[in-house]
């Protein structure tokens, strides 16, 4: 089975711009979660989508949003980018039931200048 894929792998944006990141889960997985990794804060949960619905949300401002399509692919969007949004954005997929292991993609490295 193919793993979780994320595009693009690297991205450079300037402050005030917006960005959209894409994640394709493992085939058959219906849950997609997004995480932000920074040196200072570590890995932090952004949100989780299951069957096209946001099921859980972390403590991030409304500039961070996401959606999931009927084929379980997910996108996350960050509007009005700030320097502090520079991070590695990771998505993880799972079957979506209780106790299911989440499998991560390689991440998208975002640099905001």
Q: Should residue 25 be labelled a site residue for another protein when binding is judged by CB under 8 A?
A: no
Task: Select from 50, 68, 72, 76 the one that contacts another protein (CB under 8 A).
Answer: 50
Q: Should residue 70 be labelled a site residue for another protein when binding is judged by CB under 8 A?
A: no
With residue 37 as reference, give the H or E element that holds it. Answer: strand 31-38
Angle at 86 between CA 88 and CA 108, to 5 degrees: 30
Q: Should residue 28 be labelled a site residue for another protein when binding is judged by CB under 8 A?
A: no
What are the helix and strand counts (H, E) for the chain?
0, 11
Task: Select from 68, 74, 87, 107 the one that contacts another protein (CB under 8 A).
Answer: 107
Q: Should residue 45 be labelled a site residue for another protein when binding is judged by CB under 8 A?
A: yes
Task: Select from 1, 2, 28, 42 the one that contacts another protein (CB under 8 A).
Answer: 42
**Residue 86, C-beta contacts closer than 8 angstroms, at least 6 positions apart:** 38, 110, 111, 112
Q: Are strands 108-112 and 10-13 parallel, antiparallel or unpaired?
A: parallel
Task: Select from 12, 17, 43, 63 the one that contacts another protein (CB under 8 A).
Answer: 43
| Residue 44 in tokens | 């932090």
Contact residues for another protein, defined by CB under 8 A: 4, 6, 31, 33, 35, 42-45, 48, 50, 55-56, 58, 88, 90, 92, 96-107, 109
């Amino acid at each position: 089975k193919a793993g979780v894929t994320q595009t693009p792998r690297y991205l450079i944006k300037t402050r005030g711009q917006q960005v959209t990141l894409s994640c394709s889960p493992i085939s058959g997985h219906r849950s997609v979660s997004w995480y932000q990794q920074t040196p200072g804060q570590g890995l932090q949960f952004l949100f989780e989508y299951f069957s096209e619905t946001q099921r859980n949300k972390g403590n991030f401002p409304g500039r961070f949003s996401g959606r999931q399509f009927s084929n379980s692919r997910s996108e996350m969007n960050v509007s009005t980018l700030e320097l502090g949004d520079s991070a590695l954005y990771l998505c993880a997929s799972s079957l979506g039931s209780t106790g299911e292991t989440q499998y991560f993609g390689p991440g998208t490295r975002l640099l905001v200048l």
